[in-house]
């Protein structure tokens, strides 16, 4: 199963968050405890915000295992942030290992990641092709259930008038879940 980290707090160097703690996300990617498969070798991704530069997140993704990704190690030493998502991937059976399938996904002011799998995903994928708006469907670059869920959320958010307040965002998320229940 994938592993992820979400951080909101005092700005710190991303490397210290990803590599520093004894049970860091990078350490867990090659030696997870309490899991049948203790290795997450199917990619790594990090998204972070630098509000003094842009209201939109930056994203680094690679299909390499987290523990051997030299680019991540290098970039993370130069990023200071107070808001970050990080994800190490263990691909679902039959799912392609590629940069496009690595989390987190980003669009506008949002970062999105997910752990687990969506039951009935083939139905969701087929539905998305037929019924999502062109702009929401165009956001999908990979083949994961997570990214399809993100496109559905973006659609619900846009239909709600793109609210920025926490309650408006939660309402769009609730509608996404309700809509998902209806189509699956």
Show which residues are catalytic: 2
Sign of CA dihedral 112, 97, 2, 121: positive
Kindly list the strands in the beta sheet with 3-13, ordered across the sheet, starting from the edge strand earlier in the chain: 3-13, 80-88, 44-48, 58-62
Do 83 and 104 form a contact (C-beta atoms < 8 A)? no
Residue 24 corresponds to which tokens in the numbers above? 């860091």
Residue 48 corresponds to which tokens in the numbers above? 């972070």
Going by C-alpha positions, the residue among 15, 109, 107 that lies closest to residue 54 is: 109
Going by C-alpha positions, the residue among 6, 7, 44, 48 that lies closest to residue 26 is: 44
Matching residue, tokens 């399938």: 101
- 134 exposed, middle or buried (CB, 10 Å; 0-12, 13-18, 19+)? exposed
Do 106 and 141 form a contact (C-beta atoms < 8 A)? no
Q: How far apart are CA 111 and CA 117, in angstroms?
A: 18
């Amino acid at each position: 199963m994938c592993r992820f980290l979400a951080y909101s707090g005092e700005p710190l160097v991303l490397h210290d968050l990803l590599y520093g703690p004894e049970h860091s996300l990078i350490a867990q990617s090659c030696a997870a405890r309490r899991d049948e498969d203790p290795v997450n070798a199917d990619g790594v991704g990090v998204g972070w915000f630098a509000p003094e530069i842009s209201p939109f997140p930056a994203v680094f993704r690679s299909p390499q295992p987290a523990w051997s990704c030299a680019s991540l190690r290098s970039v993370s030493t130069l990023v200071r942030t107070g808001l970050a998502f990080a994800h190490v991937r263990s691909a679902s059976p039959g799912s392609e290992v590629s940069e496009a399938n690595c989390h987190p996904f980003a669009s506008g002011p949002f970062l999105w990641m997910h752990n687990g799998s969506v039951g009935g995903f083939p139905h969701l994928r087929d539905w998305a092709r037929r019924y999502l708006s062109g702009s929401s469907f165009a956001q999908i670059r990979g083949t994961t259930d997570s990214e399809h869920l993100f496109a559905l959320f973006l659609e619900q958010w846009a239909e709600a008038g793109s609210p920025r307040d926490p309650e408006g965002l939660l309402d769009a998320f609730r509608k996404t879940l309700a809509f998902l229940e209806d189509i699956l």
